[in-house]
Amino acid sequence: MKSILVTGSNGYIGRHVLPVLAKAGAQVVAVDRTIDESADADVRVAADIFDGDANILEAIGFVPDACLHLAWRNGFDHNDPSHMNDLSAHFSFLMDLAQAGVKQVAAMGSMHEVGYWEGAITSETPCNPQSLYGIAKNALRESLSVELPKLGTILQWIRGYYIYGDDENAQSIFGKLLRAAKEGNTSFPFTSGKNKYDFLPIDELARQIAAVVMQDEVTGIINCCSGNPVSLADQVEEFIRLHDLDIALEYGVFPDRPYDSPGVWGDATSINAILSALSK
């Protein structure tokens, strides 16, 4: 049984990953500031990983085989100062685990590390992040890539794209649409909607993340994605239709963000190989 410490276990992604890991036979250690006692986990720890005095390994009584690091504050506010303020705490926490004997770190990254890019993003795509969120994620990846190998710990950098599903609990455009419709709004201010992105349902993302951390042969940057670009307008209009929302998009009210490209998506080669190997 592989033991996996999951930070941010009560977050938007974490809540979906825990049951997939449990079903896969992992011993799951759920860590978050607040813990859902009904969560699919063998051990639950309420702790602030940014508190240098919080000794999580002492609390659980053993050193897990791997850490799946999902914890991150204000992920939907790309220029919140917390991204930079928390950077050293993320690094210190993961390095402390590696020094204690954790041999596998799988950390959640983002396509926003890359910055402006047109086309498929691979593990070799150069990074030039254009937001504090992207800068912090990229800096954490680069620093861990340098330091973890010195301790014999492998790094899997799980690069995420555009997520939807479980939208009532999300701060994405899909969650905002649901809340606007519930409040009785019949129009929703929108961008041009022309940009094409890689959209992935949260349940599929959870399946891909669990597959990554349950193995240790494929390492480095791993895109968890569909590999298929879809325009934002098409995805949102389809969402409105599927949920039968009485609301219309007001195109062009907001400008497109300058650091978003006309079309960007993930190269799914590595994740497809992982999923294929696990299915055999």
Q: Which residues are catalytic?
A: 133
Q: Report how far apart the first and last C-alpha atoms of the chain are (Å, whole number).
A: 19
Distances (CA, A) of 224 to 50, 158, 164, 227: 26, 6, 13, 9
CA-CA distance, 115 to 117, in Å (whole number)? 6
CA atoms within 13 Å, Cβ hemisphere of 166: 17
**DSSP letter, residue 251:** T
Do 44 and 34 form a contact (C-beta atoms < 8 A)?
A: no
> Which residue, 34, 46, 95, 18, is CA-closest to 4?
18
Tokens of 176: 């905002």
* Longest CA pairwise span in the chain (Å): 56
- Please spell the DSSP secondary structure of 135-197, one letter per residue: HHHHHHHHHHHHHGGGGT-EEEEEEE-EEESSGGG--SHHHHHHHHHHTT--EEE------EE
